[in-house]
Amino acid sequence: MTTPTLLEVQGLVKHFPLKKDVFGRGGGVVRAVDGVSFEVLKGETLGIVGESGCGKSTTARLLMQLLQADQGELIFEGAGVNTRALSLKAFRRQVQMVFQDSYASLNPRLTMEDSIAFAPQVHGLSRELSLARAHDLLARVGLDPKRFAERYPHELSGGQRQRVNIARALALQPRLVILDEAVSALDKSVEAQVLNLLMDLKQAMGLTYVFISHDLNVVRYMCDRVMVMYLGQVVEMGPSEAIFENPRHPYTQALLRSVPSMDPDHRTQTPPLAGDPPNPINPPSGCRFHPRCAQARPECALQVPLLRGDAAAHPVACLLYPASHPT
């Protein structure tokens, strides 16, 4: 049985224009997201990984419609987003996001209950019902409403604030929650507690997650499937186990080698990624990874490898694999 799709993403493109200098030089664009297509399946946790600057957050903001895409479409439960079938407002209620910075996300002048009750009130729920929902959510995220409802952000620890941010994200009863480095700033022991809370909430509330993290060990622990990005594109996608046990793209292989191993016998001495750091302003021809790839062949500089295959499979965009060859 195949899991139904919650959100389908087709051909997303987002280029940020660069400012010209006073002589009119420069200009050009940052190709932050450059033709990204994937599906988020109902009830799954989909991880997005890749080096800093590869376009993870930009993809997340495009999914949230916080940014307008230059090209591409979002289809939520079969209905095109921002069409007559599904208005932007109706879609936005279904998708919420939690960011890394727990402090900046909260208004310092609002108590925790008012912070959580804010969005439901804006959406027309009475103050009384909104506060009741806020208290229920505080309890669900492990903060006793009697102790925490009337506190201000500065009276909470980082972990407690992030719990409030999670409660706030859930206040409109969304279907999809995007977690962009949501636990990355927390201490390891607090991080583990918040990750377990996220898994419990997902189960209890029937949520679907898109989970973005630098920490591949955390991604492995949390995610059902993983999407690997390089310079604004998807290079490999598949079930977590396939990605971590049998990475196919040379970039994914290098990324995994860079994960600190718990086992001292398996520590590598050689740096996993050679060559220039990626530049999204002027990406290399052909396969964007080829200048850093130990296995690159001449054709890799000339041909753009394609990512093909369905969500359950393990597609890879690399010319070493026959299915990736453009026909």
Residues in CB range of 78: below 8 A, 6 or more apart: none
Interacting stretch for ligand ATP, rule CB under 6 A, among 48-56, 69-77, 134-142, 289-297? 48-56
Q: What residues does 294 pair with on adjacent strands?
A: none
Interacting stretch for Mg ion, rule CB under 5 A, among 50-58, 147-155, 203-211, 220-228? 50-58
Structure token digits, residue 170: 């859930």
**Binding flags for ligand ATP, 160-189, as an x/- string (CB under 6 A):** ------------------------------
Task: Confirm or reject binding of residue 100 to Mg ion (CB under 5 A).
Answer: no
Binder of residue 272, out of Mg ion, ligand ATP, none (CB less than 5 to 8 A by kind): none
Task: Confirm or reject binding of residue 72 to ligand ATP (CB under 6 A).
Answer: no
Binder of residue 32, out of Mg ion, ligand ATP, none (CB less than 5 to 8 A by kind): ligand ATP
Task: Confirm or reject binding of residue 47 to ligand ATP (CB under 6 A).
Answer: no
**Binding flags for ligand ATP, 270-299, as an x/- string (CB under 6 A):** ----------x-------------------
Binding residue count for ligand ATP, defined by CB under 6 A:
12
* Residue closer to ligand ATP (CB basis): 135 or 292: 292
* Residue closer to ligand ATP (CB basis): 34 or 113: 34
* Residue closer to ligand ATP (CB basis): 56 or 290: 56
Contact 17, 29 (CB under 8 A): yes
Interacting stretch for ligand ATP, rule CB under 6 A, among 2-10, 51-59, 83-91, 144-152? 51-59
* Residue closer to ligand ATP (CB basis): 10 or 184: 184
* Residue closer to ligand ATP (CB basis): 29 or 320: 29
Query: How many Å apart are CA 231 and CA 284, to the nearest integer?
Result: 10
Binder of residue 53, out of Mg ion, ligand ATP, none (CB less than 5 to 8 A by kind): ligand ATP
Query: How many Å apart are CA 297 and CA 320, to the nearest integer?
Result: 9
Question: Could you say which residues in the range 10-39 bind ligand ATP, by CB under 6 A?
Answer: 16, 30, 32
Residues in CB range of 209: below 8 A, 6 or more apart: 44, 45, 46, 176, 177, 178, 179, 198, 202, 222
Task: Confirm or reject binding of residue 52 to ligand ATP (CB under 6 A).
Answer: yes
CB of 54 to ligand ATP, least distance (A): 4
Task: Confirm or reject binding of residue 240 to Mg ion (CB under 5 A).
Answer: no
* Residue closer to ligand ATP (CB basis): 66 or 313: 66
Question: Which residues in this chain contact ligand ATP in the complex, by CB under 6 A?
Answer: 16, 30, 32, 50, 52-58, 280
Question: Which residues in this chain contact Mg ion in the complex, by CB under 5 A?
Answer: 56-57
